[in-house]
Amino acid sequence: MSDSGDARVRVAIIGSGPAGSYAAGHLLRHTATELHVDLYERLPTPWGLVRAGVAPDHPKIKSVTNLYERTAEHPRLRLFANVEFGKHVTLADLRRHYHAIVYAVGTPTDRAMGIPGEELPGSYSATEFVGWYNGHPDFRDHEFDLSGERAVVVGAGNVALDVARMLVLTRAELCVTDIADHALDVLSASGVREVVVVARRGPAQAAFTNPELRELGELTDADVLVAQDELAIADALVDPSADPTAKRNVEIMREYSTRQPAGRSRQVALRFLLSPLALSGAGRVESVTFARNTLEPSADGSLRARASEQRLELPAQAVFRAIGYRGTPLAEVPFDAEQELIANEGGRVRHGEYVVGWAKRGPSGVIGTNKKDANETVERLLEDLAAGRLLDPEPISDSALEEFVRERQPQLVDYAGWQAIDRHERALGEPAGRPRVKLTRVQELLDAIGLGGDD
Ligand code: NAP
């Protein structure tokens, strides 16, 4: 990048996951003004949930990083990774140096069930399990006891399916992926024989997408079970306005309910109309008590679960809640506490500040959904640029700005640094035919590119 850019229009994006990467791509394609984008990332590694959320056995989904790499290689983009907003750089710093700031920080926290026993050992959030098997440094040292035979997964979304699949894939299936080595060892030695995925509403209301649900029926070492009687009760409650995905989901589950178990060593059972009421056990989870539900129309026309007096107690030694995520406030950034998101209108937060992705709309949609979402926000930002409504930062050259950030964080990982980490991880994976072996501690990642020393 040339250094003569005192009058440059600069945008800082906070977060290099799909939403931040798509926003960067849209900004860089804008032709009326040449925008300069600095992509800040808390971890030494980019791509957010593509690296740390997408299941290891879904390499095709991960290949979207090829697109993000092309964006990151653009001459008007710099990656400032291992730099934390609020710690190394503050909002005031960014408002002093950029015309606009775009938050792309996701919704990092799991939702709690809010029931007795939820804190017992053996009760886990999908967020921590997913972060752990994907080698996210924050979850590196979490421990999961998978010695019991039955695991319950609460929730009927794609994260619940990811968790269920990861619990029943064979070592042979896992060891050709980029799963973190520590998780490969624990999952390979797992005693789990049955995974019960529990929905509080019926099959037609499940949040699964069709390919993910279909994949469950194609597992090498696990039979998928759907009880015909439960499906029949739920069938009576099918929402006539159900969308095509929901209708197809019901068809797939009907087909599952007709299958004879093929005697595979593990099972994944889908259960419906059950809400968790309590986890119980002497010092650790031993069972889950559910209320059996009926469905009733709610004010917005959708069907919601209503608990009956009937109870079901299911012995289980591990319970994973996969019931969605929520946003957490960023220092000094307006937060909508009710929706648990960064407060915004169509992506505008306030003068000079914008938001994209899950932090803007909530934790919904697939990776590609963030493209349209980021585009909407970038359109707002460009309107504000055209109308002279962006911030009015102090002029600074490219190199002086980078120097300023490096002073705050001498262990800044730039794009070349990430490429070196990437090459290193891929080389580690090569002898075993794996896409990569992930380095799972911040220190290891920095050491790999000679940036060692304490954070
Ligand atoms: P989700 O799709 O919103 O599903 C959450 C599930 O939790 C719903 O079934 C919901 O039921 C249930 N739930 C919520 N609160 C509950 C409670 N208190 N008790 C019992 N059940 C409760 O969320 P997600 O699975 O976390 O996924 C987040 C997003 O990432 C989704 O858009 C998903 O498609 C996407 N994703 C995609 C992939 C992929 O494409 N392969 C993989 C992972 C995630 P109700 O419907 O009754 O509220």
Residues 245-270 pLDDT 10s: 988 999 999 999 999 999 999 999 99
pLDDT tens for residues 325-341? Answer: 999 999 999 999 999 99
- pLDDT tens digits for 370-425? 999 999 999 999 999 999 999 999 999 999 999 999 999 999 999 999 999 999 99
Q: What does the pLDDT read at residue 230?
A: 80
Q: Which pLDDT score, from 0 to 100, does residue 453 have? A: 67
Confidence tier at 241 by pLDDT (50, 70, 90): low
Q: 147 C-alpha to center of ligand 1: Å?
A: 26
In ligand 1, which atom is closest to the CA atom of 159?
A: 25
Distance 323 CA to ligand 1 centre (A): 5
- Of all helices (H) and strands (E), which one includes residue 36? strand 35-41
| Integer Rg of the chain from CA | 23
Gap between the Cα atoms of 433 and 428, Å rounded: 10
Total Cβ atoms within 10 A of residue 60: 7
Three-state secondary-structure class, residue 276? strand
Span 173-185, mean pLDDT? 97
Residues 6+ apart with CB under 8 A from 58: none
For ligand 1, residues with CB inside 6 Å are: 113, 154-160, 162, 199-201, 205, 207, 209, 212, 275, 322-325, 363-366
Measured by CA distance, the residue closest to atom 7 of ligand 1 is 323
| 300 DSSP β-pair partners | none
Beta strands in 298-331 (DSSP E): 303-315, 318-321, 325-326
Residue 301's pLDDT is 80
For the cut 70, the answer to whether the pLDDT of residue 9 exceeds it is: yes
Taking residue 406's Cβ as centre, other Cβ atoms within 10 Å add up to 15
In whole angstroms, how far apart are CA 297 and each of 38, 208, 306?
Answer: 47, 21, 10
